[in-house]
């Protein structure tokens, strides 16, 4: 168990001499820090998008899953009897917390946006709506539908599944897209840091030649480069993460606008999530630089 972790332990322990053998270079240092910083900034946004999408999917799913509507279409003379019958059935149905028929005024208000305030509800064959509240465990929608079909043929149960599913699926896709973006950004970071590490290794060919000549092991030489690049990535990603978190924090609050975009952000302990980005960037940099360094060294005698 210790052996595979040895390079990481050595990296964390540090080695003042190994740190000094690679000359300080400006270009690759700045490139690595900038890349890690920019990528961390983007990851924070992707993370925020993913978290917000997940939150939205849950909220929609929960909110809609707790309610259902029964629509009764019947001749005016039979409407009240069928309504009473449906309410009686609902009372006996396990999983139904409460059920009530909407009053004429309530139905009028619902139709107002489409038909205006002067709607003559009495003169129109408007179906009666029954609002159903579920318990936490919910009811057997198929069973209820079958019973309604048998006993009150004019009653139709709408448990919102039809339009809840695509909404939740869209939110889930959005969350997946965010996670995929994070993976792609991680891959791009690894690729760019590998290029920077290769450039640094090529620029320090003389250092490597001297170290091989005096009997340094590959692991020692690699460690010197890996530690430097890992620390650069860590510091760059820390700066990028802080900037990203700051930008997210400055976005308008959800309750001010109420739309999805303004709800993009972290809540509560969710703000700890972006703090994983700098160590993750350091880990990516560690793996990428170590791979590049050992591959370069293997080509040398």
Applying CB under 8 A, which residues contact other proteins? 17-18, 20-21, 23-24, 206-207, 209-218, 220, 297-298, 301
- Closest contact distance (angstroms) between CB of 230 and other proteins is 20
DSSP secondary structure of 58-109: HHHHHHHHTEEEEEE---HHHHHHHHHHHHHHHHHSTTEEEEEEPPHHHHHH
Least separation in angstroms between CB 219 and other proteins: 8
Question: Rounded to an integer, what distance in angstroms lies between the CA atom of residue 199 and that of residue 210?
Answer: 18
Measured between alpha carbons, how far is 128 from 103 in angstroms, rounded to an integer?
9
Judged by CB, which is closer to other proteins: 207, or 251?
207
Cβ proximity to other proteins: between 17 and 256 the closer is 17
- Structural tokens at position 88: 């009686």
d(CA 301, CA 291): 18
- Output 81 or 300, the one with its CB closest to other proteins: 300
CB of 167 to other proteins, least distance (A): 59
Closest of 20, 30, 102, 21 to residue 67, by C-alpha: 102
- C-alpha distance from residue 36 to each of 65, 86, 121, 194, 214 (Å): 42, 62, 64, 12, 34
Contact 281, 40 (CB under 8 A): yes
What count of Cα atoms within 13 Å lies in the side-chain half-sphere of residue 74?
21
User: Of 160 and 212, which has the nearer Cβ to other proteins?
Assistant: 212
CB of 291 to other proteins, least distance (A): 16
Which residue lies nearer to other proteins by CB, 10 or 58? 10
Q: Least Å distance between CB 181 and other proteins?
A: 40
Q: Which is nearer to other proteins, 188 or 207 (CB)?
A: 207
Q: Supply the minimum distance, in Å, between the C-beta of residue 235 and other proteins.
A: 21
Nearer to other proteins, 2 or 206 (CB): 206
Compute the least distance from the CB of residue 211 to other proteins, in Å. 6
């Amino acid at each position: 168990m210790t052996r595979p972790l040895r390079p990481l332990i050595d990296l964390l322990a540090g080695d003042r001499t190994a740190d000094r053998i690679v000359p300080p270079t400006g270009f690759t240092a700045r490139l690595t820090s900038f890349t890690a910083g920019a990528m961390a900034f983007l990851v924070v946004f992707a993370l925020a998008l993913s978290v917000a999408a997940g939150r939205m999917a849950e909220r929609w799913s929960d909110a809609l899953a707790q309610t259902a509507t029964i629509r009764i279409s019947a001749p005016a003379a039979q409407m009240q009897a069928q309504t009473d019958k449906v309410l009686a059935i609902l009372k006996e149905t396990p999983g139904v917390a409460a059920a009530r028929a909407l009053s004429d005024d309530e139905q009028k208000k619902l139709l107002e946006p489409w038909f205006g305030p002067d709607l003559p509800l009495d003169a129109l064959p408007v179906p009666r709506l029954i609002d159903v509240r579920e318990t936490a465990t919910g009811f057997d929608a198929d069973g209820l539908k079958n019973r309604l079909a048998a006993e009150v043929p004019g009653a139709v149960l709408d448990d919102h599944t039809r339009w809840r599913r695509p909404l939740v699926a869209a939110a889930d896709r959005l969350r997946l897209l965010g996670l995929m973006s994070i993976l792609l950004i991680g891959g791009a970071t690894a690729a760019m840091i590998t290029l920077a590490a290769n450039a640094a290794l090529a620029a320090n060919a003389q250092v490597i030649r001297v170290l091989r000549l005096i009997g340094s092991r590959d692991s020692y030489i690699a460690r010197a480069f890996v530690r430097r690049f890992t620390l650069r990535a860590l510091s760059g990603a820390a700066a990028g993460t802080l900037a990203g978190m700051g930008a997210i924090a400055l976005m308008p609050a959800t309750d001010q606008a109420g739309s999805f975009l303004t709800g993009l952000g972290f809540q509560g302990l969710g703000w700890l999530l972006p703090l994983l980005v700098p160590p993750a960037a350091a880990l990516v940099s560690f793996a990428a630089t170590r791979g590049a360094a050992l591959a370069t060294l293997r080509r040398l005698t």
